[in-house]
A = this chain, B = another copy of it.
């Protein structure tokens, strides 16, 4: 199965490397950024183009690791006919791709990807969906080469997964950022929090999160909640967040 990989960002990079390591035949990388594209295609040992007219139409599978806006803009000018086209988004309905090919689907790795950090793809859940059983089987075969966790997930459920992922990953990471900034204001090293961060994540691997909730909000220690809100007076946004999260924790454990 000859693959053209669209995109040169975090996901394209990590997915490309994982597929290549399993000898997938990636024949071309397409992307707008020449610098990132040459770097990625170099790592994958394949060709690169930034021109839509040069996209290899003899490929069997087009993997779109690019934004929704870019998908529509680019595919509108690429005469794909029957080849299988998949997006990698948590939030897009696969129906969007029906305008561009008779064979389409989604290939959504539920993970956060950074160029800086390798990922063990074998434990990354890959959620696949396709417009036919045949296409689904093709995607399943490909997904199983890189991950032991492949799931059939329809667009509605995938959307909900993505929303939940925003809470447990993107928002969690922002709370880490707030923690780091609070420490740096008192010239304290972020390293002090790392054991706690790790334990909090480890705990939820073993126990349902609501069972292991700790802290002043769940215990209802009002004078600490007040003290903390006062300490956040110079950060009105974080103060609002503190109040909203504490109130929600307290309600969910006392109703």
- Contacts from A to B (Cβ < 8 Å): 10, 67-68, 91, 110-114, 116-117, 119, 123-125, 149, 151, 153, 156-157, 159-161, 163-180, 182-183, 185-186, 188, 190, 192-201, 203-219, 221, 223-224, 227-228, 231-232, 237-238, 240-242, 244-245, 247-249, 251-252
Contact = CB atoms under 8 A, between A and B. Distances in A.
Given A67-B219, A110-B193, A112-B196, 9 more contacts: A91-B224, A111-B199, A151-B192, A168-B175, A170-B215, A172-B172, A173-B212, A175-B175, A176-B204
A238 to B, nearest CB: 8
Nearest to A212: B114
Contacts of A114: 203, 207, 212, 214
Q: How many monomers of this chain does the complex have?
A: 2
Most chain-B CB neighbours within 10 Å: which of A68, A119, A199, A211?
Answer: A199
A18 B164 CA distance: 36
Contacts of A197: 168-169, 172, 201, 204-205
